[in-house]
Chain A
Amino acid sequence: GAVVSQHPSWVICKSGTSVKIECRSLDFQATTMFWYRQFPKQSLMLMATSNEGSKATYEQGVEKDKFLINHASLTLSTLTVTSAHPEDSSFYICSARFASSYNEQFFGPGTRLTVL
């Protein structure tokens, strides 16, 4: 149980275009979803926390107008990278938790974004 999927698993886009990444909890209702970014050979950095039905809370230094997060249902959160540039190329990982999963976040498999 507690499976999280992400789509797409990888994407290549041109500079200036927007890319949407989906994060779904397949077998549970996710009260909270988290979006992380991981540059090569670096750690995961939290970008934002998203609660269903409310606005996402962004970490310091993350541009909310550039990284649009929507958590419209208890099983789906989306991250849209707007006007992507090569420096946005990274591995984006989401995680989700449900109300009683106090100790654990369940991670998706990640999405590798390459902006040309």
Chain B
Amino acid sequence: AQKITQTQPGMFVQEKEAVTLDCTYDTSDPSYGLFWYKQPSSGEMIFLIYQGSYDQQNATEGRYSLNFQKARKSANLVISASQLGDSAMYFCAMRVTGGGNKLTFGTGTQLKVEL
């Protein structure tokens, strides 16, 4: 079985600062993918970034980067230069190759960006 753990129920960050949202995972499948999604109060799920288990380099997408530490089974999301619009719920998710493309989500981290 796959499991995603997000230990930070809520985080505060000041505008323009960087913030790291933690995510650890557990799977016995050697081939998997890790995702981060943003869910604002409106409810839609916005895809942010993806990291494959065999990717040699950490994924980056604009202000988002994924700190992938395979041995530690962690896939932390780093948001640089935080903006007020970054305030939202953030979910880490995992898909294993043998899992029928199903996503398993963590419990989420509520991020609040302050002035």
Contacts and interface: CB of A to CB of B under 8 A. Distances in A.
Contacts of B44: 107-110
A77 interface: no
A103 B42 contact: no
A103 B52 contact: yes
Contacts of A91: 43
A32 B99 CA distance: 13
A42 B37 CA distance: 14
Contacts of B46: 107
B31 to A, nearest CB: 11
Given A46-B102, A95-B45, A110-B43, A104 B50 contact: yes
Interface string A49-89: 10000000100000000000000000000000000000000
Interface string B37-49: 1000011111100
Contacts of B50: 103-104
A57 B101 CA distance: 12
Contacts of A93: 43, 45
A12 interface: no
B43 A49 contact: no
A29 interface: no
Nearest to A108: B44
A45 B47 CA distance: 17
Q: Which of A34, A57, A107 has the most CB of B within 10 A?
A: A107
A24 interface: no
Given A43-B91, A43-B105, 20 more contacts: A34-B103, A42-B107, A44-B45, A44-B91, A45-B105, A49-B100, A49-B101, A49-B102, A93-B45, A95-B45, A97-B101, A103-B33, A104-B35, A105-B103, A106-B47, A107-B44, A107-B45, A107-B47, A109-B44, A110-B43
**Top 9 nearest A-B pairs by Cβ distance?**
A107-B45, A110-B43, A109-B44, A43-B105, A44-B105, A43-B107, A103-B50, A43-B108, A46-B102
